[in-house]
Structures are given as structure tokens and as C-alpha cells.
Amino acid sequence: MKLLALSDLHVGSAINMRALKGLSPRPEDWLILAGDVGETVQHLRTALELLTPKFAQVIWVPGNHDLWSIDPSDRPLRGEDKYRRLVEICREFGVFTPEDPYPVWPGSLDNGGENHPPVVIAPLFLLYDYSFRPDDVAGEDAVSWAGAEGIRCGDEDLLDSVPHKSRQDWCSLRVQLAEQRLEAATANGERVIMVNHWPLREDLLTARKIERFSLWCGTKQTEDWHQRFNVEAVIYGHLHLPGTQFRDGVRFEEVSLGYPTEWDGALGIEARMRQILPVPVEQTRFAAHLEGADTAFSDEQRGPVADERREAVEAVEHETAE
């Protein structure tokens, strides 16, 4: 039994959807979906119809694209209502979400033939609060600061925070709720795998291509969570920069698929799924030589698509026309 992870499926792309349909069954394995399955309610439903029969268990967290109000049929669903509808769909398929009790992966033999003990999986929904910015940029000036370089995330137009005053307020609430649950879940020394669409630390944004897009990439409120809690690994996406990094000896896995221009279609989605547990041999060997260093080794992939809003909107408009 393996624990696998993938994010940023973006099934609004016909190429990505076709590749997802061709994914081979893994009936004994668990799959983590770390956000950005698509942009509409139907995107999520279709993806789960395809994936849940192929895996023993699926775990989902939302990404920013999942929360967009972009499809006319979804238009009444904004902010919290859109999120709650997605949770309802997941529950129809027996998929764990951030609103459910944390599942426990039952464990499996590792690469040395020894049993890897069970581990708690904590699906999180934390959003961002524009705090990934230089100290001399005020919060109220953050979006303008990014805009000065021609950078503006589609969330500014498509991700509503209603009924919350702002995405920052929504983020703070989600962080507070998650802290309480994580403290309870690890109170007796349980090991935990955290899953969140957005990176938990600003220093994981190592690619220069991200630059001022950092505003929409997480919150500094979670910078120390890998040390506060008994963390086995942290799973995230959003950056479209798949790879492995270590911070304070803890493994951080960026697990994005991305848009068709960002992955090799000839290899299929299987090549982009990352094995989280049992820990792959190459990562075990690498970690053994870290000696506390903060290190990274990443797949050779492009950075975030510059005009994510345009590509997503065009994909949904094409679907509607058909």
C-alpha cells in the first residue's frame, strides 16, 4: 500500500482530462489531491467519478481555482458557499476533506521490508493573507506592489470571500481552526502529514519566476508548523514546480501536475504522481546526508503560468460552447 499525491490537475484542460481518464487503477493505494482539480463544481465531480474507483481512498483539499466563480452554472456559489458545495460532492464519493475527521493511513512495508507505522493525514484549507511580501511593503499596498510588475492573480476577480470580510480574514479563521485540530490530533505524539494547497513557508518559493506572485502563495502564520507539530511530511501544490525540499529535517513535497505545457504528455500523469509513503529510496538516502541542512531537489519544470485566469476562463467557455 502506497500513499500518493498529486495537485493542480486543472481538468478544464481537455488534455489534462484525457490524461486523467487514462490513469491506471491502483486499488490498494491512497491518493491525496492537493487542490486545483479544476474551476467548476462539475470539474470536481467528474474527476472524482474517475479517481475514486481507482484508489482505495482519496483525500481532497481545495485550491484557489476550485473556489473561483467562473462557470455560469456555478455563479450563485461564491466564497464559503462554493467551498461547502465542493465538500458535499467529496462526501458523496467517500472522499475526506478538511471538514472531516482526520483519516489515518494504516501503514505499509517500507523499502527495507520494515513496517511503516500508521500516520494521521491532516487535510487543510488555509488560503493566504498577502504576508509573503517584503517587510517594507504595507499590507494595504501589496496588490498594487505586485501590479507594478504586471502581476495580478485571477483570485482578485474570481475568488470571493463572502460572507467573510476579506480573504485575509477567511485565512485567519481557517488557520485558527486548523491549529486547534492539529493540537488535538498530535496530543499523544501522533505523526502527521499536513496537506494544504498553498505552501506553508515563504522560503519554499525558491523559483525566481514566482517573484511578486508570492502574495497569493500562503501565510506567514504557518511558518513554524512543521516544528510545532509532529510532522512526517508536508504536501502542497499551487506553484507548478514539483519537487522535494527539506526544512529542519522535515520533507516538503510540491506535487503539481500543471497545465499541458508544463508536463510531458508522453509520460502520462503517473510520472507526476509523487510517492509520499513509504518514503522512496532516493529520498531516504538524500535525507540521511542532510545533517540538518535546508536543501531542495526539484523536477525540471516551468514556473506558474503567467496568465492563469485567461487559460482557465477559455477552457470553461469552450466546455460551455460544446
CATH, residue 200: 3.60.21.10
Q: Degrees (nearest 5) of the Cα angle 190, 61, 173?
A: 80
User: What is residue 319's predicted lDDT score, i.e. its pLDDT?
Assistant: 53
CB 81: neighbour CB atoms within 10 A? 15
pLDDT band at 314 (very low <50, low <70, confident <90, very high): low
DSSP state of 280: P
pLDDT at 213 over 90: yes
User: What is residue 109's predicted lDDT score, i.e. its pLDDT?
Assistant: 60
pLDDT (mean) for 268-296: 69
What is the rounded average pLDDT for all residues in the chain? 88
Q: What DSSP element (H or E) covers 147?
A: helix 142-147
What residue numbers bound the domain in which 193 lies?
Answer: 3-321
User: What is residue 116's predicted lDDT score, i.e. its pLDDT?
Assistant: 80
pLDDT (mean) for 4-15: 97
pLDDT band at 312 (very low <50, low <70, confident <90, very high): low
More confident residue, 155 or 114: 155
User: 322: exposed, middle or buried (C-beta count within 10 Å: 0-12, 13-18, 19+)?
Assistant: exposed
Residue 105's nearest CA partner among 126, 87, 122, 89 is 122
Tell me the residue ranges of DSSP E strands in 168-209.
192-195
pLDDT at 320 over 70: no
Question: How many domains does the chain contain in total?
Answer: 1
What's the CA gap between 151 and 154, in Å, rounded? 10
More confident residue, 161 or 314: 161
List, edge to edge, every strand of the sheet that includes 26-33: 55-60, 26-33, 3-6, 274-277
- HSE value, Cβ hemisphere, 13 Å, CA-based, for 279: 21
